[in-house]
Amino acid sequence: EIVLTQSPGTLSLSPGERATLSCRASQSVSSSYLAWYQQKPGQAPRLLIYGASSRATGIPDRFSGSGSGTDFTLTISRLEPEDFAVYYCQQYGGSPLWTFGQGTKVEIK
C-alpha cells in the first residue's frame, strides 16, 4: 500500500497569507496520478488539482500544485475566507488502487 502523509496536520493562517501544504508518499507516485481535494464542513470533497499540477474546472488560479516522485505540494497563494477547509491528497497505484492522505486543516488564525 502506498501511504500518503500530509503535513502539517493543521495550518493556522490569516486571510491574504500564503498556504503551503505537503503530501509525501511512501514510494514514488506518477505525477499523473496525484490529486488534491478540498472539503468544507458538511460538504462533499471538491477536486482542486489533478495530475499534480493541473487545475480542475472552475478552480481559481490562486491554487497551484507541484512536485514529483514522493514529494508533492499544494500552494494557495493568498488565502480567501472561503479557502479555510480540510485538504486531502490522493494517489492511484498499488493496492488499494486509490489512497488518500489523512488531511491538512487550514484554519483561521
Partner 1 sequence: EVQLVQSGAEVKKPGESLKISCKGSGYSFPNYWIGWVRQMPGKGLEWMGIIYPGDSDTRYSPSFQGQVTISADKSISTAYLQWSSLKASDTAMYYCARHIGYSGYEAFDYWGQGTLVTVSS
Is there binding between residue 98 and partner 1 (CB under 8 A)?
yes
Among 2, 25, 50, 74, binds partner 1 (CB under 8 A): 50
Task: For the segment 14-33, give every residue that binds partner 1 (CB under 8 A).
Answer: 32-33
Grid cell at residue 63: 491554487
Rounded Cα distance between 41 and 44, Å, is 8
State which residue, 67 or 101, has the beta carbon closest to partner 1: 101
State which residue, 14 or 42, has the beta carbon closest to partner 1: 42
Q: Name the DSSP class of 56.
A: P
Which of helix, strand or coil describes residue 32?
helix
**Count of residues of this chain found to bind partner 1 when the rule CB under 8 A is applied:** 27
The residues, ordered by sequence, that sit 6+ positions from 40 with a Cβ below 8 Å of its Cβ are 85, 86
Query: CB 32 → partner 1: shortest distance, Å?
Result: 5
Radius of gyration over every alpha carbon of the chain, rounded to an integer in angstroms: 13
CA 9 to chain CA centroid, nearest Å? 12
Query: Under the rule (CB under 8 A), what is the footprint of partner 1?
Result: 32-33, 35, 37, 39, 44-47, 50-51, 54, 56-57, 88, 90-92, 95-103
